[in-house]
Structure 1
Amino acid sequence: MATRLLGLVADPEAHTVACDIDWAGPLPLALSEERAVQAACGIMYVHGRAVGRPAPLAVDFASAVAGVLAAQGVSAALIARARGGQVSGVRTSVSQAALLALTQYLAAATAPEEDPDPGMEASLGDCAFVSADGVRVELETLDAEQWLGFWQILGAPRDAVRRGWRPFQARFGTAVCPLPAALAESVRGVPFSVLGAAAESAGVSLLPVRQEPSRPAEVRPWTLTALPEAAAGLPGVGAPSTALPLAGLRVVESTRRVQGPLAGHVLRLLGADVVRIEPPGGEPMRGIPPLAQGCSARFSALNAGKAVIEADITTAPGRRAVREAVREADVFLHNWAPGKAARLGLDAEDLSRARPGLVYGWASGWGEALGPRPPLGTDYLVQAHSGLAAAIRPADEPPAPSLMTLTDVLGGLVSAQAVLAALLARLRTGQGRRADSSLHSAAATVPRDPRRARWGVLDRPLPTLDGHIWLGPEARAHPERITRALGAGSTAHPDALTASARTRPTADLLPLLTATGTTVTPVCTDLADLAHDPRFAGAIGAGAYACPLTPWEFT
């Protein structure tokens, strides 16, 4: 992954930056494969939360994130060098990548103020809809009136529609979606064509879930386009004043939800000064529980440390405020809906006139993949359409998006990498760049086989008396070693192994199974535990809430 992304940067000096990616990083844990990292760092827990048991992703998601982090580290090192800094190498790890992917969930799990409706998050539900003719569908709307209109057309009970709205909207943060059963029954009562017509009439986005995991063809992670206004000099040149490679560079962002704020968060972690444009009164998502020091922990986890300018960009004074902020910036970043920037007069060409040499980043949902009027560009629709929803689950489960925000995370990281590539190009040429990326293009970066994975019992976490464990590759290849160690007889049948493991606490099983020569990883089933585990102290910072530390080490 890192090699491919750095190839797109096309910098002749990239190979001179030493890049080291290992599994555990600063964690003193015996982690040597993707699934062990998913188990130890909480990905299995969050992905499986909707069904009440930890579940692996059937793709190497944490490794893909680590590949993007490595490309970011090398790109940032090259930027630091071009500005006169001395950087020879960068290190990151798959474990740090996994924790970064869980930033909002980790913050929510450790916030001191609890969600006022904890029962919702404790409930199960994965928001699965299947039409009368067997088409699995994913739907999306951010508007309560559209939600109501769609279900009214289908004749769903009004009380079920009302009770379903909050968990449907909250699923991006909770990774569960306990909808009333009457909603799924309403979908099951009509064919896909009727669902599509109802969605179009109500303004709801609806797409079928692709059944095969193949990646979209010919999708580049990002595209860079030279802007017409070149800088008089090389803006941003000058050795960083600290060890952070982007120190002294300024980013202005107008972003919401996860994808855009995460991109700005990454640039801030690399040393940039980041300024958010928020509406008068502040971003409404600041008030979404659980709260930490009076602000949403999920929001703070991605936006703490950023300065704020309040401006109503729908008004002329607000747009002038944006242009004034951009005059002193190196990067402008947004994830607005298609066409909004042009309507506001804040597109790349508009702002490059205010700031020659500007890097203009647009983190969209679909890019140009679905035409000028695409469906809502949100995580779960992209998972459904891109084949990722099929790739992440084994063949004995129906394709369905993970309620962990996979493409939002990758989309934010890919957007940040696009900005880094554009900054590097600007330093080489003095000319600004437009850097376009999308959730759809990010989904295409996840490596996957053309056929869905086929799993046996031991390809899933093994239940114990008080939790779950993940067996390493040796145990999966030689289950007879484990059955003998557990005294389950001479048979190596997985059912015997599972039955025996269920009767013993995890703490008793670990030394017993490790003695057989296999690696065994306890599965994290509470993210709050990670914040209090001394083994994670080098990767997680504690404050008003827990948050992953900077995932790179520069030398």
Structure 2
Amino acid sequence: MTLSPTSSGSRCAVASEVAARNLALLPDVPFDETECEIDWAGPVDLPLGDETAVQAACGIMHVHGRAVGRPTPLAVDYASATAGVLAAQGVLAARIARARGLELRRVRTSVSQAALLAVSQYLAAATTDDPEEPAPAGKPDLCSSDGVRFEIETLDALDWLRFWSVLDADPAAVRRGWRPFQQRFATATCALPAALQETAASRTFIAIAETATATGVSVLPVRDRPGHPADVPAWHITSMPEGEVRPSTRPGALPLEGLVVVESTRRVQGPVAGHVLRLLGAEVVRIEPPGGDPMRGIPPMAGDCSARFSALNAGKRVVELDLKSAAGRRGVHELVADADVFLHNWAPGKAEQLGLDACDLARSRPGLVHAWASGWGAEFGEDPPLGTDFLVQAHSGLAAAIGPDGAAPRPSLMTLTDVVGGLVCAQGVLAALLNRLLTRRGARVDSSLFSAAGVIPRARRTSRGPLRTADGCLLLEAESWAQAAAALAPGAGPEGVEARCADEPTAAVQESLRTAGIHATAVCTDLRALAADPRFGRALGSAAHAFPLAPWEFS
């Protein structure tokens, strides 16, 4: 992969390193003939020059900060790492296109487009004609009597009730807590009743963990060191036995045009993977249970479909099958017989139980790419805890890396690993499709939320939080604070800057700083306003809600 000057040196260095590291998972495939350009702003018409500015302008600070009631930066290069995965996807897609007869030798993406993709569900929910009411700020802070911070997870209201009841929690608090807990994936906030946190603080961690095991709830301690599961590859390919592989059709304008992906996925991680493959040109056929995916009906609605669901599943063709029935499983084989990829994020062992694992489906479609996007991969063996975003953040050390210095480790309630997990799954699929073109073999692709967490570098950035203004927030570059103090509040220091900014509108403070030669980035505090901002017009589309456009340009 040849990196253009706009991504060399210190500019977009993290994104470039992530892209190169992920492409190195295919050591025998040359990528030198593909030029990859990664910049900060891309089609966003703003002077963005670093990770923090992108997080501020493109909504990450806003969504991550909902839990504490103010825009808050992630202390890791999350948007840059995400852009690195997008860049690697683009390079693989261009290489696939050339193998299929379409001459594509240059791909371009940006950190801003990666950031917008990361907030796409929240953006959709904020820009419907029926936007949701803001949820109150709040973040679970569960700590046992012996000082162990922990995260809990269950997708079942009865298990939630049993868990807290065994711990003798106040029944009214247990009932009130379920809704914010259940919705935290969607709202990025979770105002749990204080009584539940008090109950946790009255029990040892061993007692809490034993109660969780007895009631079907998953509990994991939050690691207090950032760590880095670097020895876990983002994805892993296992080649299938040789078989007859049908020749690939020539693509149209997009690298995967003419290829078919069948997906049976839920929630975020799996649908993100299918969404990315669709943006690259594949036809995606989505298997849903009879009556449709229940997530379709969860407000806020965009027409007759959930806005969040639409953000990741619009444009996919839907086939309803009951996988518990023999007829439904035959239907999967029939769909796969004309497909190139089968993608799922089922629970461990379910594919084998249904007779729909890689070997089973290869009998219906030799050369099939069978992709499993799991929660934990092999991290916990055959009986893992629930593999969901916040548990993965806690166990992987990511939760300890994202907060400011000195802060207690807590997961972000923005779905960080769900998004990157879907992206690395899609990248693994692209790698397997390229491998199939070169070797005539199908493959099984394994990726996980845990492996995705390892993609995000743990080097922490230290910076002041955004400045409050009379109508919003501004982000100053770290090295500009002294100069800003001299321009806005001579002799008063940082406190004077904060007081001056609090009394003036964002635009007025920006103009004062601009006059003094200082750049400040306005922080997004309203995703609906972001979608209406003409400076984002080339990066976002709009239908029943706003959505990020495909984050690559090929030539």
Distance (Å, rounded) in 2 between the aligned partners of 1:468 and 1:11: 48
**1:484 and 2:486 are equivalent in the alignment:** yes
- Identical pairs, percent: 61
**1:70 and 2:71 are equivalent in the alignment:** no
Deviation at 1:13, TM superposition (A): 3.4
**Once the two structures are superposed, what CA deviation does each residue of 1:26-64 show, in whole Å capped at 9, x if it has no partner?**
111100000000000000000000110000000000000
| 1:63-462 superposed matches below 5 A | 63-115=80-132, 118=133, 121-234=134-247, 237-240=248-251, 242-449=252-459, 455=462, 459-462=464-467
Aligned to 1:497: 497
The residue identity in structure 1 corresponding to 2:281 is G
**Once the two structures are superposed, what CA deviation does each residue of 1:433-466 show, in whole Å capped at 9, x if it has no partner?**
10100000000011113xx65x4xx521111121
| 1:49-60 superposed matches below 5 A | 49-60=66-77
**Once the two structures are superposed, what CA deviation does each residue of 1:262-308 show, in whole Å capped at 9, x if it has no partner?**
00000000000000110000000000100011110000110010001
Contact 1:68–1:413 under 8 Å retained in 2 = yes
Aligned to 1:467: 472
Q: Provide the secondary structure at the position in 2 that maps to 1:9.
A: coil
Deviation at 1:378, TM superposition (A): 0.2
Contact 1:79–1:424 under 8 Å retained in 2 = yes
Aligned to 1:26: 43
The alignment's TM-score, normalised by the length of structure 1, stands at 0.95
Distance (Å, rounded) in 1 between the aligned partners of 2:229 and 2:55: 25
Q: Provide the secondary structure at the position in 1 that maps to 2:240.
A: strand
Deviation at 1:159, TM superposition (A): 1.5
Deviation at 1:224, TM superposition (A): 0.3
Deviation at 1:9, TM superposition (A): 2.6
Judged with a 3 Å threshold, the aligned counterparts in structure 2 of structure 1 residues 40 and 142 are, in CA distance, closer, same or farther, namely same
Contact 1:58–1:391 under 8 Å retained in 2 = yes
Contact 1:474–1:518 under 8 Å retained in 2 = no
Deviation at 1:474, TM superposition (A): 3.5
Q: Provide the secondary structure at the position in 1 that maps to 2:381.
A: coil
Distance (Å, rounded) in 2 between the aligned partners of 1:209 and 1:129: 10
Q: Which runs of 5+ in 2 are unaligned?
A: 1-17
Contact 2:242–2:440 under 8 Å retained in 1 = no
Distance (Å, rounded) in 2 between the aligned partners of 1:424 and 1:517: 49
Deviation at 1:473, TM superposition (A): 4.0
Deviation at 1:11, TM superposition (A): 5.1
Q: Provide the secondary structure at the position in 2 that maps to 1:431.
A: coil
- The runs of at least 4 aligned residues of structure 1 exceeding 4 Å deviation read none
Judged with a 3 Å threshold, the aligned counterparts in structure 2 of structure 1 residues 126 and 374 are, in CA distance, closer, same or farther, namely same
The residue identity in structure 1 corresponding to 2:466 is P
The residue identity in structure 2 corresponding to 1:346 is L
Contact 2:343–2:371 under 8 Å retained in 1 = yes
Deviation at 1:114, TM superposition (A): 3.4
Q: Provide the secondary structure at the position in 2 that maps to 1:213.
A: coil
- Size of the aligned set, in residue pairs, is 538
**Once the two structures are superposed, what CA deviation does each residue of 1:134-189 show, in whole Å capped at 9, x if it has no partner?**
11100000011110000001111111111111111111011011111111111111
The alignment's TM-score, normalised by the length of structure 2, stands at 0.95
Distance (Å, rounded) in 1 between the aligned partners of 2:482 and 2:22: 42
The residue identity in structure 2 corresponding to 1:379 is D
Distance (Å, rounded) in 2 between the aligned partners of 1:351 and 1:358: 8
Distance (Å, rounded) in 2 between the aligned partners of 1:312 and 1:180: 39
Q: Provide the secondary structure at the position in 2 that maps to 1:16.
A: coil
The residue identity in structure 2 corresponding to 1:484 is A
Aligned to 2:554: 554
Q: Provide the secondary structure at the position in 1 that maps to 2:52.
A: helix
